[in-house]
Amino acid sequence: MDGRDYTYYNTHKRYTSGSLLTGDSGDYQCVGRRRSSHDTKNSNTVSLTVSAVLSVSPSWLSPGTSVTLSCEVEHSSAGWRFYWYKAVPDLSGTSYSYELLPGSISGTEQDSYILHGQTQTAGFTCRAGRGDPEYYTYYSEPTFVWSGAASLTVNPDTVQRFGFDSVSLSCEGNSTKWRVSRFTDDGFLFHCSFWGTMNGSTCNVNRMWYGNVVYWCESGSAFSNAVNITGQYNDGIILVSPVHPVTEGDSVTLGCKLRTQNVLSNVFFYKDNKLIQNDSRGEMSISAVSESDEGFYKCQYSGKESPQSWMAVKSSSSENSSFPVLLITGLVCGVLLIILLLLLCCYKQSKGEKFSDQFKITDVFLLLLINAVATEEFEIHKTC
């Protein structure tokens, strides 16, 4: 192990080690020896890795939310110090570089680290060290906190796909270079170059991965939102539902599809494993989506059942959050302009100039301003 050979003599078939250190990572094998002839025989080699495991709470966040990172060393005992890193995508390859987080240069005694005011999607990793000289574990696998400054769009916009379906994953944001990554339900992280074709900011996939897969975009400085896509076997059935969250008040239609055709009648629909529609229709429509419609959906037809997929609902107020800002900005700018005009009129009056024309112009301007405010036309803030 670690380029060195150690031999532990033991008369038993099992060897038990004490608390493991990072230096214990390496390849192990056992050797049996006959007492009579001193003949020996080696076993196969087994690799042992002592590494850290990072978890994040919450994994999905709203901008400004605090995030807690937790680092765990398997078979842990006292004496570990923990080091915290931000994972930065290396777009020249398929890996990440790691930047120490503030206050982590000398490590922390605590196995948790709190990030305040997290506003963007980011990847994090940790490792632990102890001893003198200090030995380190391997870096943990990158773990991601999702709140996209960039965005990933999927075409066609459905969560579930058959294995031979093609799909385009497109990245949008303030970057000229992107890569698309995926994380499979069995724990493997791959980039588009391994399973698709990257063309500019779009990854084109000709064949889907079976099971549940998370996809997202990465640039040198940002991560996008993540989307879940489920790959289904070609002899199965899939639920037709949107990838992206549905806005409150909007309508949505769920369907059921075989590999060769849409199912047009006698489909059962379930929400959170409860039957919610079982008539002769082939689709289920919600005319005005509300928060209570959020949940896991699946469909059933002729003895076949689709996987279930999550339908998210987002608040409509988030799309109109800029309106109060425009209102306040418009009113403030309008008041400032009125004050400036009145000061100008007073100045001309003090100079003894005739100002009847100026007042006429001011009156007209005030009428226009009042009309703009009344009709919510706040374009004036652009020139203020």
* Strand 313-314 relative to strand 246-247, pairing: parallel
Q: What is the pLDDT along the chain (384 residues), one digit of tens a residue?
A: 444 455 555 666 666 554 444 455 667 778 777 766 667 777 777 655 556 666 655 454 455 667 788 888 876 667 889 999 988 877 666 678 888 998 888 899 888 898 876 666 678 889 998 888 888 888 888 877 765 567 888 998 889 999 888 899 999 887 778 889 888 877 778 888 888 899 999 999 888 878 888 888 888 767 787 888 888 888 889 999 998 889 999 999 999 999 888 888 899 999 999 999 998 999 999 999 999 999 999 999 999 999 999 898 888 765 444 445 455 656 666 667 677 767 766 655 665 554 444 444 444 444 444 444 444 433 333 334
pLDDT of residue 248: 93
What pLDDT is attached to residue 234? 85
pLDDT of residue 164: 83
- CA distances, 338 to each of 94, 325, 342 (Å): 59, 20, 6
pLDDT for 359 equals 42
Range 236-316 has CATH code 3.90.110.10:
no
SS3 of residue 258 by DSSP: strand
Cβ atoms within 10 A of the Cβ of 90, count?
13
- Judge contact between 179 and 167, C-beta under 8 A: no
Give the model's pLDDT for residue 356: 45
At position 271, the amino acid (one-letter code) is K
Residue 52 CA: distances (Å) to CA of 22, 76, 124, 212, 365: 10, 10, 12, 25, 68
Return the axis-axis angle of helices 356-374 and 322-350, rounded to nearest 10°.
170
Q: What pLDDT score was predicted for residue 270?
A: 97
- Beta strands (DSSP E) in 104-260 are 112-118, 122-130, 135-136, 143-145, 151-155, 160-162, 167-172, 179-184, 189-191, 197-199, 202-205, 211-218, 227-232, 237-240, 246-247, 252-258
Q: Check residue 39 and give its pLDDT.
A: 73
CATH 3.40.50.300 fits 52-145, yes or no: no
Pairing of strands 227-232, 65-73: unpaired
Tell me which residue of 317, 319, 322, 255 sits closest to 283, measured CA to CA. Answer: 255
d(CA 140, CA 167): 31
Distances in Å between the Cα of 352 and the Cα atoms of 197, 241, 348, 349 are 77, 74, 7, 5
Q: How far is Cα 82 from Cα 84, in angstroms, rounded to an integer?
A: 7
- Residue 254 contacts residue 289 (beta carbons within 8 Å): no
Predicted model pTM? 0.52
Report residue 210 as tokens.
């079976």
